[in-house]
Structure 1
Amino acid sequence: MTTFDVLTIGNAIVDIIARCDDAFLSSNGIIKSAMNLIDAERAELLYSRMGPAVEASGGSAGNTAAGVASLGGRAAYFGKVSNDQLGAIFDHDIKAQGVHFATRPLDGVPPTARSMIFVTPDGERSMNTYLGACVELGPEDVEPDVVAAAKVTYFEGYLWDPPRAKDAIRDAARIAHANGREVAMTLSDSFCVHRYREEFLDLMRSGTVDIVFANRSELLALYETEDFEAALGRIAGDCRLAAVTMSEDGSIVVRGADRVPVDAIPVARVVDTTGAGDLYAAGFLFGYTSGRSLADCGRLGSLAAGIVIEQIGPRPMQSLKDAARAAGLL
């Protein structure tokens, strides 16, 4: 009997979120709308310059796991924290969402990862991430029985930054495929794609990854082109299934020659785009592991993404299951 619908693997991060203007980004050398990796010293500096902030457990794949659970799915998560205050916050939050999380924590060094996220008035978020304990995620943290019991194992492209995580991902993919399961990844960020373009393409072309999530800019970066239609054609040949988000233009699901367009849901006000792609993946994978059509998978993704961008923080504050029922999707 399948125990989990979706297992996600990622950098376990506590988000520290504050509002700012574009001038603040410029004066502090922060690249807008990107995930910037920083060291401990810069993390302390940026924290000292932040205005009032909200702490919320985050990390791309952790957000996706929380979204799957909020929809009523069975979710599990692998990610490394430390035995410190932020680690306790992360552990509490993900378990409170109903997600299986049993990765052994470190004994305080390095500390739990944190990301200083600056949200500008247009809702765009600029992330400045100190990976801390995340870099210690390795093959020993893979729970083979959990991987074997998950319909889809999903990991974030950001994991290609901490080196030992690559071995963990490859081990998990091997176990998943040996048990007739599928493997999915998100490209995470166009800057991440530029760093690891050839490795990401190899993951797809080798069959290590079956399903790919990307936004428009990540897809164009992957194929080093400005021709969106050409990029869609190329990813159709490189992986079995892809879902590409396009902000207010919705998304498009690609499987072979098939193209399934999906509308974005109307949003009254964009408050914070943090977690939009993560929650789209949550909705899509919940639908996919429930045997729904690709169109319905995309609609569930759009719903979850639309809800999370109307709030501060990357994890849903309301029941996505209730919202999906109200929208006629469940």
Structure 2
Amino acid sequence: EFWLEDMRRIGVGTDVDPTDEPTGTCVVLITEDAQRTMLTSLGASSTLGPEDIDEEMIRQSEWVYVEGYLFTGDSTKAAAYRAIELAKKNNVKVAFTVSDPFLISLFRDEFLELLHGPVDLLFCNLDEARALTEKTDPIDCAQAIHQHAPHVAMTLGADGSLLMNEGSAIPIEGVEVKA
């Protein structure tokens, strides 16, 4: 409830029915060299289905954000595709994150179809970009993705991040962190 209240307070629309399902959780492990690994359980979001997608809410939006984790279940995958379908029908942009290199090993072809079609912005890290493109250099990866997605936002760990927009690579410097 505190999360929903915070979202409402800052003006984020929430149309969430309470459920007895446990909340999703994510455990983040940080190594001494400040790299992170995440262990995720979708919790209540694993019950999301296409019937939960509200066309009117999507129609009123500028962007729809779709997580790659939704592809791990039949119902959640159907919900993701429904949200994308309604977004495109209503001229709403689609942002997509592949979420994890492991998911790319399972759903690479589907993710590539999304990139070649409805995705306007792809979020990924370098490992995910390498798995998607089968390239190694960050700029080569971003350019390969950018051939299909108008916008790319790729994190590079300690090296910062890389944006691709209108054919230009825009490097963002990393910030030193201590674990």
TM-based fold match above 0.5 = yes
Q: Count matched residues.
A: 179
1:192 to 97, 100, 103: 103
Is the contact between residue 184 and residue 209 of structure 1 (CA under 8 Å) also seen in structure 2? yes
AA partner of residue 247 (structure 1): G
CA distance in structure 1 between the aligned counterparts of 2:171 and 2:26, rounded to whole angstroms = 33
**Coordinate RMSD, CA, aligned:** 2.3
- After TM superposition, where is structure 1 displaced by more than 4 Å over at least 4 residues in a row? none
Write the mapping of 1:167-182 to structure 2, written as runs, cut at 5 A: 167-182=78-93
Scaled by the length of structure 2, what TM-score is found?
Answer: 0.85
How many angstroms does 1:221 deviate by? 0.8
Write the mapping of 1:104-253 to structure 2, written as runs, cut at 5 A: 104-106=17-19, 108=20, 110-205=21-116, 207-253=117-163
Counterpart secondary structure, 2:119 = coil
Consecutive unaligned residues in structure 2, runs of 5 or more: none
CA distance in structure 2 between the aligned counterparts of 1:117 and 1:259, rounded to whole angstroms = 29
The residue aligned with 1:258 is 168
Q: Deviations over 1:271-304 (max 9, x none)?
A: 5xxxxxxxxxxxxxxxxxxxxxxxxxxxxxxxxx
Write the mapping of 1:33-48 to structure 2, written as runs, cut at 5 A: none
How many angstroms does 1:250 deviate by? 2.5
CA distance in structure 2 between the aligned counterparts of 1:180 and 1:121, rounded to whole angstroms = 45
How many angstroms does 1:96 deviate by? 4.6
Is the contact between residue 71 and residue 80 of structure 2 (CA under 8 Å) also seen in structure 1? no
89 and 216 in structure 1: CA distance in 2 versus 1, 3 angstrom threshold: same
Higher relative contact order (CA 8 A, sep 6+): 1
Consecutive unaligned residues in structure 1, runs of 5 or more: 1-87, 272-330
Q: Deviations over 1:115-138 (max 9, x none)?
A: 333334443333323333221111
Is the contact between residue 250 and residue 262 of structure 1 (CA under 8 Å) also seen in structure 2? yes
2:12 to 93, 96, 99: 99
Scaled by the length of structure 1, what TM-score is found?
Answer: 0.49
How many angstroms does 1:230 deviate by? 3.2
% identical equivalent positions: 32
Is the contact between residue 157 and residue 188 of structure 1 (CA under 8 Å) also seen in structure 2? yes
CA distance in structure 1 between the aligned counterparts of 2:126 and 2:95, rounded to whole angstroms = 18
CA distance in structure 1 between the aligned counterparts of 2:60 and 2:156, rounded to whole angstroms = 32
How many angstroms does 1:147 deviate by? 0.7
AA partner of residue 128 (structure 1): L
Counterpart secondary structure, 2:147 = helix
131 and 237 in structure 1: CA distance in 2 versus 1, 3 angstrom threshold: same
Is the contact between residue 214 and residue 243 of structure 1 (CA under 8 Å) also seen in structure 2? yes
